[in-house]
Chains A and B, each alone.
Chain A
Amino acid sequence: MLLAPALATILAVVFIPVINAVLMSFQNYDLRRPSQIRFIGLGNYIAVFKDPLFWQALLKTVIWVSAGVGFQFVFGFMLALLLNRHFFGRGFFRSISLIPWVTPGVLIGLMWRWIFDGNYGVLNDLLSKLGLIENNIPFLAQQSTAFPAVILTIIWQGIPFFALMLLAGLQGIPEELYDAADVDGASLIQRFFMVTVPSLKNTIFITTMLRIIWVANSVDVIFNLTEGGPAYSTQTLSVYVFNKGNALNLGYASTMAILLALALSSVAIPYLKKLFKSQEEAL
């Protein structure tokens, strides 16, 4: 009964639209040609599988998610541990290190666009002052640098999320566990792997999974940096869906969105199985 309010909301505002989307994926639902909308069976799916841009976007998504979430997690964990020590002004530093995470995606995209700018960008200026480059690099305008640049931006944005969640989790670890490890003569690294990581197992599990899904679906950062360009070099699957949706080809967009959701489920289901197993063991 505790579930009822959550279920009602979700059913009303999620499942009806999702069913709608599934239906749209079987039609050539293009709002630019509303009179021609009809069922075309698997037509959209066949077209998507023949679309080289779809496969390229899928590959980009895999790189985007693994590099993005991987570095976010490593640096976020580092930050959480560093902020968990006792030092003067800890609360202040905890607060300010979270600011990237409370910043709207639109603003993040635009801020970094200004930093990466080829003419007036501060990154170019810094690199040339350090003597690393001779001529300004138009980071977002050339294919070789645009994708690393957007990945750097998403890493920057996600570090505080992991730091906050892991920091909250760290507080729940009973002090005795560390005392016991000290008695056993554990080194710092041993303490980390024998006490910290196992105690945070569930938190790590859930935060990384949520983050994978979130990053895979995120549109606003890339869209405001590059809109998927130049020459589709930063177009992940979700950005591709968004661009197609913007172009009002809703049938095609829905098809890709459903495929993306299926792909994400294939990542999440082993995760879930493991989670349920560890919960049953805890019983």
Chain B
Amino acid sequence: MRNERMLRLQRVLRRLLGNILLAALLVFLLFPFYWTFVTSIKPEKELYASVVTYWPKAPTFTSYTRLFTEYNFLKPMLNSLLVAFFTTVISLTVSLLAAYAFSRYRFRGRKFFMTLFLTNNMFPTVLLLIPLFAIMRKAGILYTPTALILSYTTFTIPFSIWLLNGYLDDLPRSLEEAAMVDGANRAQAFLKIIFPMLVPCIIATGAYVFMTAWNEYTFAVMFTNERNRTIPVALKNFIGQLGVEWGMLTAGGIITIIPVCILFFFAQKRLVEGLTAGAVKG
């Protein structure tokens, strides 16, 4: 009896400890956003007051209205969305095929190609920037979204291949072999067995690609002009010669994060659904 009570107590304590840890981590991860939001609704006077306030005495949304009227922030948002969407679709299609080949076939040059895809990520993006600029200009696609999408796929495809390859390697190959013994061909085995199990990982990878494209700054600043610049470039524009416009910048930051959060909330749901439906349950 006593032993059982001890065990239960232990379990409750463990749970409590876990929750405290989780809470601490979440506070650390989320406080900067709270602070960004609070800054965005503070009137200028309070922003640079000698006393730091944790909730503005007179909250105001002038920064937000100025963002859309004065700065036309909707335009960079749509540009970012377009670029990120196409980058994701292209990268996932291409790299799923490649990752499957790497994981399930053994062919000559396999190691070489895998290493090739990886080393490509070792080059600092700044290094690719200048030569790519010249190439895009020659091809006549500089200052179009295509230039950005193309240059983003250069680092999202290798990344996706590696991530998906890792997930595929963790899936036992006996699963599809069983299906092939039952008369399915390789394509069927892939679509019916591997693909459904891989959905959570594809979503995770796709989310990664989308965010990379959504957030990228260095290429965006070089390959776009006023008409098709993306969010990070637009944000950076709030830093003027005289200093940072913290009110505008934080408001722009909050606006940037909101659509992504909504998107993520749904991706998260899909993730869990895919997991419970497709996971290996024996």
Q: Interface 1/0s, chain A 43-69, versus B by CB < 8 A?
A: 000000000000000000000000000
Would you call B180 an interface residue if the criterion is a C-beta within 8 Å of the partner chain's C-beta atoms? no
Q: Which residue of B lies closest to A246 (CB)?
A: B126
Q: Is the interface of B mostly helix, strand, loop or mixed?
A: helix
Q: A5-B97, A99-B264, A203-B166 are in contact. List 10 more A-B contacts (CB 8 A).
A: A87-B19, A93-B22, A106-B235, A168-B200, A217-B122, A245-B126, A254-B127, A265-B122, A282-B169, A283-B106
Minimum C-beta distance from B218 to chain A (A): 7
**Contact between B281 and A175 (Cβ–Cβ < 8 Å)?**
yes
Partner of A159, one of B29, B127, B260: B29
Q: Which residues from chain A contact B114 at a C-beta distance below 8 Å?
A: 272
**Contact between A242 and B126 (Cβ–Cβ < 8 Å)?**
yes
Q: Which residues from chain A contact B260 at a C-beta distance below 8 Å?
A: 99, 102
Which chain B residues numbered 215 to 257 have a C-beta less than 8 Å away from chain A? 215, 217-218, 231-232, 235-236, 239, 244, 246, 249-250, 253, 256-257
**Contact between A98 and B118 (Cβ–Cβ < 8 Å)?**
no
Would you call B100 an interface residue if the criterion is a C-beta within 8 Å of the partner chain's C-beta atoms? yes
CA distance A102 to B163 in the complex (A): 18
Q: Which residues from chain B contact A102 at a C-beta distance below 8 Å?
A: 211, 214-215, 257, 260-261, 264
**Contact between A103 and B122 (Cβ–Cβ < 8 Å)?**
no
CA distance A100 to B122 in the complex (A): 24
Residues of A in contact (CB 8 Å), total 98
Q: Is the interface of A mostly helix, strand, loop or mixed?
A: helix
Write the residues of chain A forming the contact surface with B, with a CB cutoff of 8 angstroms. Answer: 2-3, 5-7, 9-10, 13-14, 16-18, 20-21, 24, 75, 78-79, 82-83, 85, 87, 91-107, 110-115, 119-120, 122, 125, 156, 159-161, 164-165, 168-169, 171-172, 174-176, 188, 199-200, 202-203, 205-207, 209-210, 213-214, 217, 219-220, 224, 238, 241-242, 245, 250, 253-254, 257-258, 260-261, 264-265, 268-269, 272, 276, 279, 282-283
CA distance A18 to B207 in the complex (A): 28
Query: What are 22 contact pairs spanning A and B, CB under 8 A?
Result: A3-B97, A3-B98, A3-B101, A10-B154, A18-B128, A79-B25, A97-B25, A98-B268, A102-B257, A104-B217, A111-B250, A171-B275, A172-B167, A174-B282, A206-B166, A207-B163, A213-B122, A217-B125, A219-B126, A245-B126, A260-B122, A261-B119
